Amino acid sequence: MKHFIMFGPPGAGKGTQAKLMVDKYNLRHVSTGDLLRAEIKKGSELGNQAKALIEAGSLVPDEVVVAMIKNEIETNPHVAGFIFDGFPRTTQQASVLDEMLAKMGKQVDSVISIIVDDNLVKERIKHRAMLEDRKDDMQDDVIANRIRTYHQKTEPLIDYYKKLNKYHEINGSGTIEEIFDQVCTLIETL
């Protein structure tokens, strides 16, 4: 069973590539945002904890998110592996994820980082916003803040995973198919 992390700025195409990976390799795409919404909708214990925190204006603690990820892994034994999208976003979260996987006898096998220039990221976010009618993603200041947050808070994970020899870059400026060809080449060499 393989465990991948999709990494890259907003609009890099992580979700698009993850969907293609799911279909080709029998992987399960684990988006932490989707997990939180699903657990809240189910009314599970974890979902109720998350809902109370969100309604109080607090962030959901890493331990709750990791418990949801653990539950997702345990309830999907039929897949060949998992693609984590949206977690970890900090080195602290990476450490918590590593500990949880180690207790299960598993590990992060590879981080697939889709590298995209900031200007292309802005174009893609605006395009996606038009397609999905996401008005917040049409504002330049909101887009700039999301990119800045990625560079400041998430990019330090690059060094974390490079030290573990698990970090791999994919050029994200091509077509969806060209990018997926690179992803497949990488996966098939691991």
CA angle 30, 110, 177 (to 5 degrees): 75
For residue 81, the tally of other CB atoms under 10 A from its CB is: 18
pLDDT in tens, 90-112: 888 899 999 999 999 999 999 99
The CA distances from residue 79 to 3, 12, 145, in Å, are 11, 25, 36
User: pLDDT below 50 — which residues of the chain?
Assistant: none
Structural domain containing residue 30: 2-189
Give the per-residue pLDDT at 76.
94
Give the per-residue pLDDT at 66.
87
> What is the number of domains present in the chain?
1
15: CATH = 3.40.50.300
3-state secondary structure 43-82: CCHHHHHHHHHHHCCCCCCHHHHHHHHHHHHHCCCCCCEE
Is the separation of the CB atoms in 52 and 60 below 8 Å? no
